[in-house]
Structure 1
Amino acid sequence: MSGHEGDRGLMMHWAFDEGSGASAMESVTKTVDEIHYVFNNAEFTDPCTPPWRQGVAGSALLFDGYSTYIAHSVHGEEHNGESEFLSALSIGVWIAPRTYEWGHEGKLAAIVNRYNNKTRQGYLLGMFRHGSWSFQIGLEGGEWKEIWAPDGYELPKNEWSYVNAVFDGEAGEIKLLLNGTEITSAAVPRGSRIAEAMDTDLFIGRNNHGSRLAEVFSLHMFSGIMDEMKIYNRALSNEEAAAFYQEVLDSAHGGVRPKLNYDDIKLDRIPLLTDRHRPQYHVSPPAHWMNEPHAPIYFDGQYHLFYQHNPQGPYFHHIHWGHWVSEDLVHWRDLPVALAPERDQLAPDGIWSGSAAYDAEGLPVLFFTAGNDSASPNQSVALARSTYPQDGDPDLITWIKHPEPLIVQQKGMGAFGDFRDPFVWKDEDGWYALVGSGIEGEGGAALAFASQDMLNWTYKGPFYQADIQKFPYLGPIWELPVLLPLGTDNKGDSKHLLLVSPVGKGADVEVFYWIGQLEKDELSFIPDQEEPQLIDVGDFHFTGPSGMVDPKTGRNIVFTIAQGDRTSEMEYKSGWAHNGGLPLSVYLRDDGRLGIEPIQELESLRGTKRLSLQDKSLAEANLLLGDVQGDMLEIQLELEPGNAGQLGIKVRCTPDGEEETLLVYDCNEAKFLVDRTKTTLHPGEKCSGIQGGKLELLGENLKLHIYLDRSMVEAYANGLKSLTTRVYPSRKDALGLEIWGDGEPLVKSMEIWDMQSIW
C-alpha cells in the first residue's frame, strides 16, 4: 500500500516481512527494533530466533505469549508542546490469537500500547478474557476512555482478524472495526485530544503495566500471530478500513478472508528437542506449562490422555485441558487443546482435573472440575461430550460441554469450597464418582456419588476418610482420588486400590494408597491396613495420580506428573515446566503387596544395547561401565549385597566426580534413597539433599530398573517402590555411570540400552 493515499498520516508501520531473525523494522522511520524472545540467548537449548510464519501479506511474527515482544523507542517525541497531544489516532493490525488471557487485575493483553495508567495518558489496544477486546485512551485533562467490542464480536482463536481502532477528536468519536466493518462507537467531547505518555516506550505484544507473577513472568502478553501493524495520526474512515481489508483479501487470498493453517500457530516443540534437561521419551506438552496428566481412556484403537495446561506460558495460570493420543501408550501425538475456559456460566475461570468414562453408547465422555470464580464454591463437577457421533473423528479433537454442572457441592457435603477432581467409572449398574474434598475439622476425604443416567447424581457420603490425628501428613483435603480393581487375592477376596494426593496445611503432597475392599452397596471403602503406603519415595516428584483399566490388556495403568523441581526463573528461561511420569502397571502380588512396573511397551524405545554382564565384582563391572555414557538410558541391575551395608549406582557423573547423583539402598535401615548433594553446581537449580523412604526387601537382592531421560531419573526397586527425582547437572559431561557400595557387593547382572525419543 506504500505510496498512495492510504499512507497519509502514517506514523508507524511494521510489515513483519523480515521472515527470519530477531528484529523487525518500523518502516516510516526505518528504525530496526529488537524482538525480545526467550531463546535469542538460550541457556539450555540451541539458541534460535523468534518463529516467523506466513502472514496475510508476506511473513508475520508469532508471539509465544510470555516472552515475545517489541519495545519501540519513539524518537523525536521530546516534541515541543503541541505534539504531546494527538487529535486523532488510528491503529490497524491483522492478528490471529492462539490463546486468551485470564485478565488478572482487569488488564488487557496488549496488542500495541504506549500508556501510563497512573497519569491516565496514552493509548492501549488489547485483548481480554475469552476473546473480548478493547481500545483505551487517556484524554487531555486526565479522563480515561474505554471502548469494548460488543458481545458476539470476540476475536476467534487460530483465525485471522483485521482489527481497527479509531479516535477522532475533532468529530468527538472513538470506534472499533472488525474485518473492515464498524462494530461499535462511542462519543467523546468534540475537540478531545489524547495526552501522549511521553515517559514510556511503545510496546507491541506486551502491556506497559503488566502484572508480575512469581516475580519473573509478565502477564498480559499477546499470544498468536501478528501482521501489518499501522498507526496513523489521523482518523481512518470506515471506507478506508474496508478498502484496506479488501485489498489484503484480493491481493493474495482470492477475495476471501485469509486462511490460517493450525500447524502454523500451534505450540511448537522443535526448539525444545535440543534442551539438555527436557525429557525426550516422557510425555510432555509441546511447550509451556503442564501439571497432572489425567482422564486416560481407550477408544477406537487409540489411547487418549489429557493434561492440565497453560498454553500462554510456563507458569500456573488459567488452566486448560491439553490432549495427546497414542496407539501404544509410548509414542504420543500432540492434539489441539480439548477444553478451554469460555464465556459461560459453567467454567469461565479454569478447566481443572477430572477423568474420562464411557456413556451408555460406549462413547468417551470427560468429567472435569469447572472453575467459576463468580460461584460459591468456585468448583463443581461438569461434563463434556465428544463430537464423534457427528464427525467420526478418531482423534476426538472436539468436545462440547454440557451447559450445566452435574454436581454442585452443598453445605455438609465435604469441606465446603474444596470439591474437585471427579474420578468416574461405569459398570452394569450405572456410573459412580469419587470427588476429592475433606470433612470439616477431620481431614481429607473422597466423597462418593452414584448415577443411573450419568447426568443426575446422588450423594452417598464419604467413600473413605483417614484419621488425621494418627496420620497428620494426609492433610485437610484430598485431591485426585483414583479407584482401580486389583482382582482377587489368594484367599479369594476381591480387592481394590485407592489412590489420593493430600494437599493443604501439614499435608505431604505425594501419592498415597490403600489396598482394601469396595463396599458397593454403601459405596464406601474398607482398607486392609489403616496406614497408607507410598508408591514412590522420591519426595514430591511423583504426584497427581490418574488411572485406568486398559481394555486391551486388563492391566491397571497409573499416570502421574513428574514435578520439575525448578525455580520460576529456570522455567522462564527453559520455556517449559513439568512432564508426565512413565505409565505404570500396578497389580496385586502373591504376597499381598502392591506390585509396580513400568509398562512393557517401553521396550519399543530401546536402541543400541550398550552393556550386558553377569557375576562381576564391583571393580570389574565399573571397568566395563567406563565406556557407557548417556542421559537417555534404560538400566537393569541386580546387586547382591555381600558385606555391603549400602549399595547402588551413581548416574549422571562427570569424569572427575564433581557432579553425580547416587541411587542407594541402605540394607540396615531398609531405605531406598537418592543423594543429590553433588547433582549440580548450577546456582539457579534447586535439586539437592537426600530423599527416600522405606523399602523392605526381606532378604532379596537389590533389583533396580532405572530410566534416565535428561533431567528425569526414575528407579524401580524390586517391583515394589519407585523413586522419581530430577537432576539438572551444570556440566555437559555429566553422563557417566558407576556402581557403588561401602563393601564388596556382587554385580549379579546388568543390562543397559540407549533410549530413543518419542517425538
Structure 2
Amino acid sequence: MKKYITIILFGVMFIGCKSQNDPSPTPTPPPNPTVATALLSFNFNESSGQSLSENKTNANFTIDGPSGSAERIIGVEGNALRVNGFYGWATGNASTTYPTAKVCVSGWIAPSAFPVQRKDLDLITENTNAALFSNVNTSNSSGVALGINHHGRVIGQFKLGTSVIQILSDQEVPLKKWSFIALNINASSGTAALYLNGSQIKSTTFEIGTLLWDNNATIYIGKESKTKTIAGFDTNGLTGAIDQVTLWNKDLTDAEIVAQYAKFSPSDPDLKIPTTRFANDIHRPKYHLMPSSAWTNESHGLIFIDNKYHIFSQRNFNGPYLEHINWGHYVSADLINWEEKTQVLWPQPGFDEVGIWSGHAIISKGQPYIFYTGVNKSKAAIGLATSSPPYDTWTKNPTAIIPNAPSSSANADFRDPFIFLDNSQWYMMIGTGMRSGTPRGGLYLYKSTSTDFKQWSLQGTMLEGNPAVDGTGDFWEMPVYYNFGAKAIVLINKLPNANALYWTGNFNGSQFVRDNAIPERLDVINQLLSPSIHPDANGNLTAIGIIPDGVTSEKQKEQGWAHVFSLPRVWTLVNGKIKQVPHPNVLNLRGASKNFTNVVFDQNTSNALNNATGSQYEIVATINPGTATKVGFSLNKNTATGEQTLIYYDYATSSFVVDRSKSSILTGVPLSNQSTNYVVPSGIINWRIFVDASVIEVFVNEELAFATRSFPSTANNLIDLYAQGGAATATDLKIYSIQGGGVASVSKKRPEKKSEIILHPIVFPNPSTDNFNIKFNNITETTPVYGYIFDITGFPVKRIEAAVDVENTILHWNGIMDNGAKAIRGVYVIKGLLKNELFDAKIIVE
C-alpha cells in the first residue's frame, strides 16, 4: 500500500508537467512551496554506549541509567533506542533556531506498554505525555512535546502566547508494533493536527499567535519534561522503542507526512528483554516463574485449555513499582517452562482507566472468561473479557458487569472477584472490608443470572470476619473457593500484615458455613500469598502463588524487577487441612545429584556436605534429630563474610524457624527472622528444599510448605547442615542440580518442545492386595526413577526413588505408605520421571 501511495504522489507531480505540444494556455505557476528541512534529527544508529548524537548539530545526548545500561534494538532503519519506563531516555541540548510560526515533530514509536498515570497523585484530567520529543520549560510551559499518554493515545503540547495548547487523539497506538506519529503546528493559521501512520487522526484550531520556545530548555527523547515520581522511580518515561525522531522547520503537508511514513516498512520490533540485562544478577531466580522484568505481584487466572496452561499476573511494565497495573500473561505446556506473552488487559478510558487489578479466570462450555477489578480514581468495578484460540488477545466487555460495591459507605474497597460453580449455578465472591460496626474483612456474594456472565444478582455476604476472635484483619483480598467433595474451603488473604488463611466448611447456596471459627494458615511460615488454583491435566488441584521480595524500593530499582511466583504445588484436603507438595512435573528440573547417607552432625560440625555449593538446586533429606534440639540447614553460607540463612526446626519450642539475621551483608534486603509454632508428630523430618538464587521454598513431610527470601552477597554458596544442643543424623540426603524452568529466554524464544511422550509401565499383579511390580520396557542402562504414588484425591502416599537397569527393569511396592500404614482399597496412580521421560500407571489395591 505504501508503494502505491508513493506512485500516486509521483503521478500527481508528472501530471502537473505540461508537454511542449500541449496547446492549452500555460497557467501561472504557484509560488515555490517551502521545502521541509530537519532542524534536529535523531536516528539512534550508535551501536553501543551511554550517549547518542543529534545528526544536524552533532550535539551529544546522554542516555539515562547506570553505566552500560543503554540498549538498542533493530529499528525502522538501522538501530533504535530502547527505553524502559524508568530509565533509558536521552537528554541534552542542541543549538538551533526554533521556528515561531510553523513546525512539525515526527518519529517512530513501538510501545511495549503505555506509560503511567499515578493513581493518587495525578488528576484524572491530567495526561501523561511520555514523549518522543519534549523541550518544554516546566516553569512556563514554552516548547513542544509529542508522545503518547497513559492510554496509548497520541498527544501533543505547545505554548502559544499565554495559552498552553494540548491536542489528544481518540485512537490508541498498537502495542509492540512500529507506528509513525507526527504533530503539525501552524501558529500563523491557528491550526494543529496529529497523524498516525500517514493519516490525520485529530485536528484543532486556536487563536493565531506566536510559538514560544526556551532555547536553553533540556531536550528529552523518550520522556516527558516534567518530573513525576513514585518511590524514587520516574513515572513518565516511554517503555518500548523509538526511532527517526525529527523536528522540522515547517508544518508538513499531508503528502509529505505520507512520504515520511512510506520511507520505511519495518518488521515488528523484538522487544523481549535482552539476556545481557540480568546476566550478572546473582539474586534473580531462574527456574521459578517470574516476568521478564519490572513489577509483578498477584498471580491469578490459572487455567488449562487446549493442552496449555495459562496464568496471568499483576504487571507494571514501566518499572518495578506498584502502579498502572496491566494483566501479564504466561503460557506453559508443563507448569514448569513458561513463555511470557503480550499483556492481555491494560487501563483504557472508562471504569478501568487507572488499573486492571486482580481477578479470576474460568472455562465454561469450552469458552474462557476473565473477571477482573477495574479501577478509576474514585472506585472499583468488576469487568469481563473473553478470548478465542490461541488466547493471546482478549476482548473486554465495554461496560462493567458489576459497576460498584453494594454500599460505598459500608465497605472499604471492593475487589478481586473469584467465580465458582455450585449445583449448576455460577457464583462470584468479591473481597472487601466491612465498615458497618467493627471493621472486618468480608466477601460479597453474587449469582449469575445470564449464560454470558454479564448479569449478576447480589446475594448478600458469603462470609464475614471477626478480627478479635479469628485474627483475620479488617480487609480481605484475593479470595479462593474450592469444593474437595466432602468439604470445601474458602481462602482469603487478610490485611493488614498480609497472610493467606483458610477455613473448611460447606457452601449452602448463600453463605459459607465454617467448621471452625479460627482459620488455618496456608503456609506454616507466612510468605506465600494470593495463590491461584486450577486442576492440572490429570486432575490434581494445582496452586501457584507469589513470594514477595521484601526488599526496599531502592533495591528493586537496582534489580530492575520485583517479586517471583512459587513452584506449582498440588493441594489435597486431609483431616481438615490443606496438604501441599511440589507438583510432580517439578521432577523434570532435576539434574545430577550428590548423595549422602548417615551424616552425623552437631553444633561443632562444619562443611558436613563436603563443599557442596550452588545457587539453583533441590535438597531431599531425611533427618533424625537424635539429641539435638535445633536441626536443619545452613544455606547461602559464606565463611569469608559470615553470611548464612538458617532453616531449621526447634524441637524445644515446636517451631519452624527461618533465621536471616546473618543472611546478607548487603543493604536494602530482608534480615528479619521468621518462625511459627507447629508440632511435628514424630522427631524424624523429611525435608524437600528448593533454592533458586534469592528464593528458598521448603516442603516438609509431604504436607507442609513455606518460603522465604535471602539475598547473599555472592553466588554459589556453601550448603551445610545445622544442629544445636546435640547430634543429629541425615540418614539420607541428596542435592540435585537444577537447570531450566522459569520464563523462556527473554530475548530469544525457547524452541517449541515436541509433544511429550508419557511412558506407561506395566503393573502386575493388578489389582492386588500388595507386592505390586512396576515393569519398564526398553531399559538399556542404569536409569534413575523418581516419582510418587498418589491416592484418589491426588495426595502423595509413597515417594519413589530407585534405579532400574538392563538386568532389573522392575520396581516393587509392597502396598505400605510412607506413614507406615497399609494402603486401603481403591485406585492409586504412580507418576514420575524415568531419566528424562515422564511416566504414569494405574494401581488398583484390593
TM-score, length-scaled by structure 2:
0.78
CA contact (8 A) 1:673 1:690 kept: yes
Distance 1:12 1:677, change over 3 A: same
Distance 1:693 1:195, change over 3 A: same
Q: Can you give the 5+ residue segments of structure 1 that lack an aligned partner in the other structure?
A: 42-47, 78-82, 488-493
CA contact (8 A) 1:712 1:724 kept: yes
Match of 1:206 in 2: 223
Distance, in Å, in 2 between the alignment partners of 1:476 and 1:16 is 52
Residue 83 of structure 2: SS of its match in structure 1? Answer: strand
Pairing 1:135–2:156 present: yes
Cα deviation code 1:474-518 (max 9, x no counterpart): 11110011112234xxxxxx1122211012xxx220111122x21
> Which of 672, 682, 704 does residue 689 from structure 1 map onto?
672
Distance, in Å, in 1 between the alignment partners of 2:298 and 2:102 is 50
Pairing 1:373–2:377 present: yes
Pairing 1:74–2:94 present: yes
> Which of 429, 442, 446 does residue 449 from structure 1 map onto?
446
1:572-591 matches, within 5 Å, as 572-589=557-574, 591=575
1:113-512 matches, within 5 Å, as 113-140=134-161, 142-149=162-169, 151=170, 153-196=171-214, 198=216, 200-214=217-231, 216-246=232-262, 248-249=263-264, 253=265, 258-261=266-269, 264-268=270-274, 271-272=277-278, 274-343=280-349, 345-359=350-364, 361-373=365-377, 378-388=379-389, 393=390, 396-412=391-407, 415-427=410-422, 429-440=424-435, 441-442=437-438, 443-451=440-448, 453=451, 454-471=453-470, 473-487=471-485, 494-503=486-495, 507-512=496-501
CA contact (8 A) 2:282 2:714 kept: no
Cα deviation code 1:392-437 (max 9, x no counterpart): x2xx112112233223445459943522111112355121222112
Instruction: Look up the equivalent residue of 2:163 and give its one-letter code.
Output: E
1:664-703 matches, within 5 Å, as 664-683=648-667, 685-703=668-686
Instruction: Look up the equivalent residue of 1:208 and give its one-letter code.
Output: S
Cα deviation code 1:703-736 (max 9, x no counterpart): 2211100000112222343231111112346344
Pairing 1:600–2:601 present: no
Distance 1:386 1:8, change over 3 A: closer
TM-superposed deviation, 1:618: 4.5
Instruction: Look up the equivalent residue of 1:307 and give its one-letter code.
Output: S
Instruction: Look up the equivalent residue of 1:319 and give its one-letter code.
Output: I
CA contact (8 A) 1:37 1:50 kept: no
Distance, in Å, in 2 between the alignment partners of 1:189 and 1:593 is 72
Residue 557 of structure 2: SS of its match in structure 1? Answer: helix
Distance, in Å, in 2 between the alignment partners of 1:398 and 1:268 is 24
TM-superposed deviation, 1:619: 8.6
Distance 1:358 1:177, change over 3 A: closer
Q: Can you give the 5+ residue segments of structure 2 that lack an aligned partner in the other structure?
A: 1-32, 745-846
Residue 243 of structure 1: SS of its match in structure 2? Answer: helix
Residue 322 of structure 1: SS of its match in structure 2? Answer: strand
Residue 244 of structure 1: SS of its match in structure 2? Answer: helix
Cα deviation code 1:608-642 (max 9, x no counterpart): 10233235444998555132100111012222222
Distance, in Å, in 2 between the alignment partners of 1:6 and 1:171 is 16
Cα deviation code 1:721-759 (max 9, x no counterpart): 323111111234634433333321122221110111314
Match of 2:835 in 1: none
Instruction: Look up the equivalent residue of 2:210 and give its one-letter code.
Output: S
Pairing 1:737–2:720 present: yes
> Which of 71, 85, 101 does residue 65 from structure 1 map onto?
85
Distance, in Å, in 1 between the alignment partners of 2:663 and 2:638 is 10
Residue 129 of structure 1: SS of its match in structure 2? Answer: coil
TM-superposed deviation, 1:109: 1.3
Distance, in Å, in 1 between the alignment partners of 2:202 and 2:344 is 32
Match of 2:732 in 1: 749
CA contact (8 A) 1:543 1:560 kept: yes
Distance 1:270 1:534, change over 3 A: farther
Distance, in Å, in 1 between the alignment partners of 2:603 and 2:407 is 64
Distance 1:585 1:241, change over 3 A: same
Cα deviation code 1:633-668 (max 9, x no counterpart): 101222222222222111000033611111121112
TM-superposed deviation, 1:186: 3.6
TM-superposed deviation, 1:21: 3.8
Cα deviation code 1:274-323 (max 9, x no counterpart): 42111111101111111111111111211111111112221111111111
Cα deviation code 1:90-124 (max 9, x no counterpart): 21212222221243432311221111232232222
Pairing 1:24–2:32 present: no
Distance, in Å, in 2 between the alignment partners of 1:244 and 1:407 is 46
Task: Give identity over the alignment, percent.
Answer: 28
Match of 1:533 in 2: 520
CA contact (8 A) 1:414 1:438 kept: no
> Which of 531, 540, 546 does residue 532 from structure 2 map onto?
546
CA contact (8 A) 1:103 1:109 kept: no
CA contact (8 A) 1:499 1:545 kept: no
Distance 1:31 1:679, change over 3 A: same
> Which of 700, 716, 738 does residue 717 from structure 1 map onto?
700
Residue 640 of structure 2: SS of its match in structure 1? Answer: coil
CA contact (8 A) 1:484 1:548 kept: no
Residue 419 of structure 1: SS of its match in structure 2? Answer: strand
Residue 468 of structure 2: SS of its match in structure 1? Answer: coil
Match of 2:757 in 1: none
Distance 1:608 1:134, change over 3 A: same
Residue 660 of structure 1: SS of its match in structure 2? Answer: strand
TM-superposed deviation, 1:174: 3.1
TM-superposed deviation, 1:65: 2.0
CA contact (8 A) 1:415 1:437 kept: no
Distance 1:295 1:115, change over 3 A: same
Instruction: Look up the equivalent residue of 1:379 and give its one-letter code.
Output: A
CA contact (8 A) 2:445 2:461 kept: yes
Residue 585 of structure 2: SS of its match in structure 1? Answer: helix
Match of 1:707 in 2: 690
CA contact (8 A) 2:314 2:326 kept: yes
Distance, in Å, in 2 between the alignment partners of 1:276 and 1:694 is 32
Instruction: Look up the equivalent residue of 2:499 and give its one-letter code.
Output: E
Distance 1:335 1:268, change over 3 A: farther
CA contact (8 A) 1:414 1:437 kept: no
TM-superposed deviation, 1:134: 2.1
Distance, in Å, in 2 between the alignment partners of 1:188 and 1:348 is 29
Residue 116 of structure 1: SS of its match in structure 2? Answer: coil
Distance 1:656 1:174, change over 3 A: same
CA contact (8 A) 1:172 1:192 kept: no
Of residues 276-285 and 739-748 in structure 1, the stretch that sits farther from structure 2 once superposed is 739-748
Distance, in Å, in 2 between the alignment partners of 1:619 and 1:193 is 78
Match of 2:551 in 1: 566
Distance 1:65 1:617, change over 3 A: closer
Aligned length: 699
Distance 1:147 1:615, change over 3 A: closer
Instruction: Look up the equivalent residue of 2:108 and give its one-letter code.
Output: W
Cα deviation code 1:671-700 (max 9, x no counterpart): 1011111111112x2311211111110233
Distance, in Å, in 2 between the alignment partners of 1:406 and 1:190 is 47
TM-superposed deviation, 1:130: 1.7
CA contact (8 A) 1:98 1:158 kept: yes
1:511-522 matches, within 5 Å, as 511-515=500-504, 517-520=505-508, 522=509
Residue 399 of structure 2: SS of its match in structure 1? Answer: coil
